[in-house]
Amino acid sequence: MGTFLPDRSSYQLLTVIGRGLEDLMTVNLARYRPTGEHVSIRRIDLESCTNDMVNYLQGELHVSKLFHHPCILPYRSIFIMENELWVITPFMAYGSARDLISTHFTEGMGELAIACILLGLLKALDYIHHMGYVHRSVKASHVLVSADGQVFLSGLRSIFSLIRHGQRVRSVHDFPQYSVKVLPWLSPEVLQQNLQGYDSRSDIYSLGITACELANGHVPFKDMPATQMLLEKLNGTVPCLLDSSTIPTEELTLKASRSGADSGICEGPGASGARHANGDPPSSSHPYNRTFSPHFHAFVELCLQRDPQKRPSANALLGHSFFKQIKRRPCEALPELLRPVSPITSFQNAQPPDSPSGLASLESSLSQLDMDDWDF
């Protein structure tokens, strides 16, 4: 838990940066007075929470004390102040991966940056699965990036233990509460809720959806009604990376309208290797006129296997050839790969954080982020 004091007077609340839990939670950016470090504070109105919500929060706080891993968002302090539960976590100066693609990489991030982010995410999942848990909420908005390029997985509220009566069970059937926002990322077997249940490999499917989200700039199956999305997944419809090898030639010759590419669904084998009849590459006007490496395509295909038994474990995926392109420590490479994006804390160099101009600069920076979907 660190050495952060469980004392309200030790924290200077700066501005509200988000809300959640049916508006019962307010998220503040704050400064920890003893060190000057910036932190995020979740303030939850316990008096207005139902018993189910309290149990939901207790499960999250339990695993936050149990987990200790450099790629899982740490909880610095947890305490009750009057009728509020205060949860202190580090402030992520780059925001979430979802923020990055919403504000700067709207057509998707570069492959090397994605590799660095997914490597950190996989390390966190490998640890979580080793501890006997299923995350059940893997998506770009739950992948946070610190000012120094460290990748952290958050979103522990939906986590579920595979340990029952002291033994590890092969599968579970529990459907995650408050999961409306995460449906596009959930695996077919979690959505199907049949007698076979699901296990940690359901997170690997969500990892594949997240990879497509980072590469394409949007989530596969987006804007689909829930029932249609379920049928698509159960019928084996496979999302893909959108590039010159998966988008039909006639679409690549269009202006940057994306046309049918918004779904993020592959058009089938006939779309592979799309080229003009004269052999020239497709027009550069299309936003997806690019080619991801075969290793990246193969990685996503493995993650999105309809049969969960055919999906590799998180530990096995850590050795995938897709990650061999990373030649430097990811935390050193990532800030450079994210340029021209700069961490939100860069305003500190010019103004004290408690000065009017410093706070105005901070609020301007925060206004670019879609923090309502963050899980701090």
Give the whole-angstrom CA distance, residue 123 versus residue 356. 41
Q: Is the pLDDT of residue 49 over 80?
A: yes
Percentage of the chain exceeding pLDDT 70 = 82
Fold classification of 97-241+292-337 (topology level): Transferase(Phosphotransferase); domain 1 (1.10.510)
Domain boundaries, the chain: 1-91, 97-241+292-337
Buried b (16+ CB within 10 A) or exposed e, 119-154: bbbbbbbbbbbeeebbbbbbbbbbbbbbbebbbbbb
No. of helices (H) and no. of strands (E), the chain: 11, 11
What three-state secondary structure class fits 6?
coil
Reported as a single tens digit per residue, the pLDDT across 312-350 is 999 999 999 999 999 999 999 999 999 999 888 643 433
Give the whole-angstrom CA distance, residue 63 versus residue 48. 23
What average pLDDT does this structure show over 61-86?
93
Q: Do domains 1-91 and 97-241+292-337 have the same CATH topology?
A: no
- pTM of model > 0.75: yes
CATH architecture of 1-91: 2-Layer Sandwich (3.30)
What three-state secondary structure class fits 38?
strand
- Mean pLDDT for the chain? 84
Reported as a single tens digit per residue, the pLDDT across 170-192 is 999 999 877 788 999 999 999 98
Reported as a single tens digit per residue, the pLDDT across 112-149 is 999 999 999 999 999 999 999 999 999 999 999 999 99
